[in-house]
Chains A and B, each alone.
Chain A
Amino acid sequence: MIAGGVAMNADEARADMASGLAMANTCAGCHGTDGMANGPAMPNIAGQPANYLIPVMKEFRSGERYSTIMGRIAKGYSDAEIEALSKAVAGWKWTGGAENPKLAMKTGETIAMVKPALAAEGEKLAKEMKCTKCHEDGGKSTEDDMPRVAGQHLDYLLFKMEDYKDEALKMPQPKKMKKRMDKASAKELEAISHFWAANK
């Protein structure tokens, strides 16, 4: 980003001077301190690979990837800034996430809770439906551009499964994943979500 002797434009200056970390820290209001969110729905982003974060942020920005709010936020960052803040996020550690006692109280919205029986069924289904070909290691893999799904918040996984199934949203996804998604029923995807959410 800092080309020797060449004057930086304003965006580059922000990417450099604010440092990726300062920008990434502003995401914490939604994604939690150091990228570990507290549930029930906003995703943990800590330690997701930069190869996943960078294109996803750019797809949010262009509108190619459906979102409720990330599109509006991602438009505030240049390519250089997305790269800088994604590297900071990728450097954070996925810590397994502490239980959040406040979520056990009456909060006004209906929050999904992991059901162990459903999770056990989901573990089988993920194998049968070959999700595990890519989401290896019980969903913990972060190889190359693979986002970790194990230990992700249940309501988030349930939302994403709906979004991927919704033809109108045209969610970007690998061809082989789409094929399997098309075949999967809502019930099966729900079970897989319970499995991954439980697999901390």
Chain B
Amino acid sequence: MIVVGGGYGGATAAKYIKKADPNVSVILIEQNKHYYSCPLSNPVLVGMRDLEVQKWGYEGLKKHGITVVHETVTGVDTGAKKVTTAGGVFSYDKLVLSPGVSFNYDAIEGYDEAATKTMTHAWKAGPQTAILRDQIDAMKDGGTMVLVAPPNPFRCPPGPYERASLIAHYFKTKKPKSKLIVLDPKDKFSKFGLFQSGWEKLGYKGKYLEWVPAGEGGKVTRVDPKTNTVYTEMDEFKADVVNVIPPQKAGKVAFLAGVANDKGWCPIDFKTFESTMAKDVYVIGDSSAAAGLPKSGYAANSEAKVAAAAIIASLQGKPAPMPTYVNTCYSILAPNYGISVALVSTLKDGKITKLSGGLSPMEATPAFRHQEALYAESWYQAIMNDTFA
């Protein structure tokens, strides 16, 4: 067994395969020595949280008997069943790919990899998070920040709006003459009503936070990193800090392996997460085209368990068990103000079908929002341990 990518999906898959059958040999190939979690990295940007809390290592997984190899995968041959890295070639019986997302640098003129050094994406946590945090910290009061939101589908649908909320909170409490402008190529987004009413109630709307939807010219066509300027079809915005969350596609490894379709995502069998483009290759997490599940850490964790169970069953010559998926995304709008969306689903008529879930109530007491904020922190601690310990 080889797992490529030691994030929410890959690390969970490796652990749960070992938990189900300690006799299966599992090699996890991950390019970085440490993993920085995106979930709850938004509070880091505004000094609410230490980046250290986001950092995890691979010792926990090694204790389960998983071999962890820190290399970058440079090739996958699904015919010969081999994975190539600078450190050597590995053969597999079953391969799990969970490489996360990669960015589409052709979509916005002027926004390429070099531009991310000053116009950060901070959509993969770690050094990018630190740069953006420091830029926001250094910004003078009275400054303008622009956040460019991505088109669907992308990693963490509520993520850009949680980020916008917390930056507005920071301006309101620390730099009250400053403003955040969110330029969006969409007219609606995840937890729309809850965010809108939160922005109203928390006093962000208009004053510290302005959201410009597609219908009002929110789509960004070009950026100029030299002058920190962002261009839409009708307008230009010169800002002190610019954060561009670019359009996304499957992780690069998925393209190397030839398991991504022309839309840039990996089609899979919803019962097992085995690729429909290559046998014995399972694609989980953000890279998979799992219609019915969002691109979230919790969904990646849930998909990993489904794939792990299917792989174990297949090795034992048994049919894959009926899958069951759970997802929840918490968002923090201010300290003590949390909201959530939940989803329980299963496979019906070949599709991932919702059984229950939904949003936090629109009208809720402060105690309820406080509980959800603390439960968000708990969720993070629990899922990180479920993934890495």
Contacts and interface: CB of A to CB of B under 8 A. Distances in A.
B322 A25 contact: no
Interface string B253-265: 0000000000000
B163 interface: no
Contacts of B375: 30, 41-42, 68-69
Interface string B343-359: 01110100000011110
A29 B379 contact: yes
Contacts of B344: 73, 75-77
A27 interface: yes
B325 interface: yes
Contacts, number: 150
B108 interface: no
Given A22-B321, A32-B385, A109 B309 contact: no
B378 A40 contact: yes
A109 B321 contact: no
Band of interface residues on A: 35 or more
A86 to B, nearest CB: 15
Contact of A26 (B324, B332, B336, B368): B324
Given A75-B356, A108-B377, A69 B328 contact: yes
Band of interface residues on B: 35 or more
B49 A106 contact: yes
B368 A68 contact: yes
Interface of A: 10, 13-14, 17-19, 22-23, 25-33, 37-42, 68-69, 72-77, 100, 102-103, 105-111, 153, 155, 159, 162
B386 A73 contact: no
Given A13-B322, A29-B298, A106-B50, A111 B377 contact: yes
Given A73-B344, A107-B53, A29 B378 contact: no
B305 interface: yes
A22 B313 CA distance: 13
A31 B322 contact: no
B89 interface: no
B328 A30 contact: yes
Contacts of B40: 108
Given A29-B328, A72-B358, A73-B356, A14 B322 contact: yes
A28 B357 CA distance: 17
Given A68-B368, A72-B357, A26 B382 contact: no
Given A22-B305, A72-B357, A75-B356, A108 B382 contact: no
Contacts of A106: 48-50, 53
